[in-house]
Copies of this chain bind each other. A is one copy, B any other.
């Protein structure tokens, strides 16, 4: 650590007004009740719980973040492993629930090498293991006597799971499976917790029986020696190298050279191989396998709002402290510079994202409700089908539940793509809105963004997912045209479009919120029927329609989010939980979110005849400006309501007290280890850092 600053430096303050004064003035501008809004979003119980867990973490030096931004990969991984162990010990000591574990990790704000053990290894064993396999694998795993990961993705295959190359061949003679990597591209890759940490892996491999392929199935495979932690024979395993972010996780590669595992290692709750006959039992209900994927996607949607809100919190606070230039129309004798948050071009970048964070929050709640409704129905179906999960529900039950499942699947795909893109791209907009200082690691946004970025690719690449949404919409449209529309939400929207075929539409998007929501629905219908015409009538190739499908899926997702936000505002629970000021502000955020997207997609709204040109012009200019102006005074309180503690944000720019410059300067001059180093700057000298060995130049 560099020495403390000299006294004459310590005596310096930023030129006034101070950041703390500016933020206090901001908070005084608005009557929004921050605590009431925060309790509505999170519940008082959870907020108290989070504060309790925070103080436990803050007590332990292993979680001290002050060196985080300075560490190289070696030290970063070491610190992350230490934190993973410490969190596990705390979890056991305090008997934390899964949710409390999640809160602790969230406050820490970086993955640890145990991440996929808890998140995927345990869940997969639970859901796909038989009772015997629970005893053999799940119990020791829960105790962390074995550490696992979920090894599906390969070097050559990510999205196309059917193309996985790792094989699991049944050996009837000794009742084993041979796990083998026939090509380099079969190497497992990207596998979290595998690179250095895991002792075991759930390996998804192509089941081969009697020379015939049966598709990908999950197998528990030991990969490292329990004592030495070295790779087992014929296993090649390691870390895949540094990444743009996510460097506190040891993503790994994994190759097998004909490794044998016993029959009991094939997770066989839903499908398996009879050890006597060698016959294959297929899963009764394929949708049971989809269940986890949908859950993961719903989770991504749920977290997208708060993910984005972190960046918005930092950018909003900083832009209220940062002052530059005077307003162009200020009187000549005006003193002091203008807060950059007063510039409409800055508001235009940040405030729609503030609106998006709230919109995604409400959509996340709606997503989880839909997911739970489906889980409930599926549980009912299992009961009807009998206690043998392998048999599953019969065709009638399947049909009854399939609408809900189809809706859930399509909505989760569309929203996963839209929500993660909105959050990721929004974070970068926030970072840039912080100007030069946004580029410093101390801004806290860069690292958060870089760690979040894989979310647009994993669990379903965002572009790939849009095809599934399009498939669903086309199928629904075909049914509607054939007079067989179901009762689900999208069928009603499509039917309304057809009903109005000879009337046209007239949506008062600037005068009526319901009309605004309906305009988004109309655009979805228009794009769906256009796509259907291209595909069914004009027989265009699927490939040639991919761009249209992406636009269609995005429109569908935007409609869902706008609708969810609108419905949340109408909801009695909302009206009972927050006062009139908050309801009014949330209403402005709703309008800002919807009209911002309407403006940006003006051509589609116009082409679909959902709105007139004039409405788009007004939305884009006058109305957006008016909404920015309405939201501006409440900005700081609106971000305060997300209740991110400074410790979690780890950001000089986003501190609650606004001491931006003091914090930046302190980190740079008194913590930054490179300031212990003295260069030899002369080209003809072979010395680089004084006191270190010369270089060979």
Q: Tell yes or no: A212 within 8 A of B by CB.
A: no
Min distance, Cβ A216 to any Cβ of chain B, angstroms: 15
Q: How many copies does the complex hold?
A: 2
**A657-674 residues at the B interface, CB under 8 angstroms:** 661-662, 664-665, 667-669, 672-674
Say whether, besides A12-B255, A667-B241, A681-B113, A546 and B229 are in contact (CB < 8 Å): no
| Contact between chains at B546 and A678 (CB < 8 Å) | no
Min distance, Cβ A691 to any Cβ of chain B, angstroms: 12
**A281-298 residues at the B interface, CB under 8 angstroms:** none
- Bitwise interface map of A from 570 to 598 toward B, beta carbon under 8 Å scored 1, else 0: 00000000000000000000000000000
| Contact between chains at A547 and B681 (CB < 8 Å) | no
* Closest Cβ neighbor of A342 among chain B residues: B543
- Bitwise interface map of A from 28 to 52 toward B, beta carbon under 8 Å scored 1, else 0: 0000000000000000000000000
| Contact between chains at A345 and B78 (CB < 8 Å) | no
| Contact between chains at B160 and A324 (CB < 8 Å) | yes
Partner of A15, one of B15, B156, B238, B242: B156
Say whether, besides A257-B8, A607-B617, A617-B607, A89 and B242 are in contact (CB < 8 Å): no
Q: With contacts A160-B337, A599-B603 known, what are 5 further pairs, Cβ within 8 A?
A: A184-B661, A243-B446, A345-B550, A346-B463, A348-B546
CA distance A479 to B229 in the complex (A): 78
Min distance, Cβ A182 to any Cβ of chain B, angstroms: 8
| Contact between chains at B546 and A344 (CB < 8 Å) | yes
**A231-251 residues at the B interface, CB under 8 angstroms:** 234, 236, 238-246, 250
Q: Tell yes or no: A404 within 8 A of B by CB.
A: no
| Contact between chains at B70 and A163 (CB < 8 Å) | no
Residues of B with C-beta under 8 A to A667: 241
Q: Tell yes or no: A253 within 8 A of B by CB.
A: yes
Q: Tell yes or no: A697 within 8 A of B by CB.
A: yes
| Contact between chains at A683 and B144 (CB < 8 Å) | yes
Q: Tell yes or no: A171 within 8 A of B by CB.
A: no
**13 A/B residue pairs, CB under 8 Å, sorted by A:** A14-B184, A15-B183, A69-B241, A74-B673, A84-B683, A155-B664, A187-B665, A196-B679, A229-B678, A229-B679, A244-B439, A344-B547, A607-B617
Q: Tell yes or no: A514 within 8 A of B by CB.
A: no
Q: Tell yes or no: A85 within 8 A of B by CB.
A: yes
Question: Which 7 A-B pairs rank lowest in CB-CB distance, beginning with the nearest?
Answer: A72-B72, A602-B603, A328-B542, A88-B683, A345-B546, A244-B446, A12-B184
CA distance A679 to B112 in the complex (A): 13
Q: Tell yes or no: A391 within 8 A of B by CB.
A: no
Binds B, one of A364-372, A450-458, A486-494: A450-458
CA distance A243 to B348 in the complex (A): 26
Q: Tell yes or no: A159 within 8 A of B by CB.
A: yes
| Contact between chains at B695 and A343 (CB < 8 Å) | no
Min distance, Cβ A111 to any Cβ of chain B, angstroms: 14
| Contact between chains at B70 and A73 (CB < 8 Å) | yes
* Closest Cβ neighbor of A236 among chain B residues: B9
CA distance A696 to B60 in the complex (A): 10
Interface centre among A72, A77, A255, A436 (most CB of B within 10 A): A436
Min distance, Cβ A105 to any Cβ of chain B, angstroms: 14
Min distance, Cβ A6 to any Cβ of chain B, angstroms: 7
* Closest Cβ neighbor of A449 among chain B residues: B244
Min distance, Cβ A570 to any Cβ of chain B, angstroms: 30
Residues of B with C-beta under 8 A to A165: 15
Residues of B with C-beta under 8 A to A156: 14-15, 323, 661
CA distance A72 to B323 in the complex (A): 34
Min distance, Cβ A464 to any Cβ of chain B, angstroms: 9
Q: Tell yes or no: A270 within 8 A of B by CB.
A: no
| Contact between chains at A453 and B439 (CB < 8 Å) | yes
CA distance A187 to B230 in the complex (A): 52
Q: Tell yes or no: A96 within 8 A of B by CB.
A: no
Interface centre among A185, A620, A667 (most CB of B within 10 A): A185
CA distance A245 to B328 in the complex (A): 34
**A67-91 residues at the B interface, CB under 8 angstroms:** 69-75, 77-78, 81-82, 84-86, 88-89
Q: Tell yes or no: A131 within 8 A of B by CB.
A: no
Say whether, besides A165-B15, A236-B5, A678 and B73 are in contact (CB < 8 Å): no
Partner of A190, one of B197, B236, B436, B678: B436
- Bitwise interface map of A from 674 to 688 toward B, beta carbon under 8 Å scored 1, else 0: 110111111111001
Min distance, Cβ A633 to any Cβ of chain B, angstroms: 15
**A401-450 residues at the B interface, CB under 8 angstroms:** 428, 431-432, 435-436, 438-442, 446, 450
| Contact between chains at A543 and B432 (CB < 8 Å) | no
Residues of B with C-beta under 8 A to A82: 688, 695, 697
Min distance, Cβ A61 to any Cβ of chain B, angstroms: 8
Min distance, Cβ A470 to any Cβ of chain B, angstroms: 11
| Contact between chains at A183 and B13 (CB < 8 Å) | yes
Q: Tell yes or no: A473 within 8 A of B by CB.
A: no
Say whether, besides A198-B681, A550-B345, A613-B606, A440 and B661 are in contact (CB < 8 Å): no
Residues of B with C-beta under 8 A to A688: 78, 81-82, 85
Min distance, Cβ A679 to any Cβ of chain B, angstroms: 4
Min distance, Cβ A410 to any Cβ of chain B, angstroms: 17
Min distance, Cβ A211 to any Cβ of chain B, angstroms: 18
Partner of A674, one of B88, B196, B549, B616: B196
CA distance A672 to B620 in the complex (A): 51
* Closest Cβ neighbor of A689 among chain B residues: B78
CA distance A253 to B72 in the complex (A): 23
Q: Tell yes or no: A279 within 8 A of B by CB.
A: no
- Bitwise interface map of A from 524 to 547 toward B, beta carbon under 8 Å scored 1, else 0: 000000000000000001111111
Min distance, Cβ A661 to any Cβ of chain B, angstroms: 5
Min distance, Cβ A340 to any Cβ of chain B, angstroms: 9
- Bitwise interface map of A from 635 to 671 toward B, beta carbon under 8 Å scored 1, else 0: 0000000000000000000000000011011011100
CA distance A348 to B6 in the complex (A): 57
Min distance, Cβ A382 to any Cβ of chain B, angstroms: 32
Say whether, besides A5-B236, A697-B62, A15 and B185 are in contact (CB < 8 Å): yes
Q: Tell yes or no: A157 within 8 A of B by CB.
A: yes
Q: Tell yes or no: A625 within 8 A of B by CB.
A: yes
Partner of A683, one of B89, B182, B456: B89
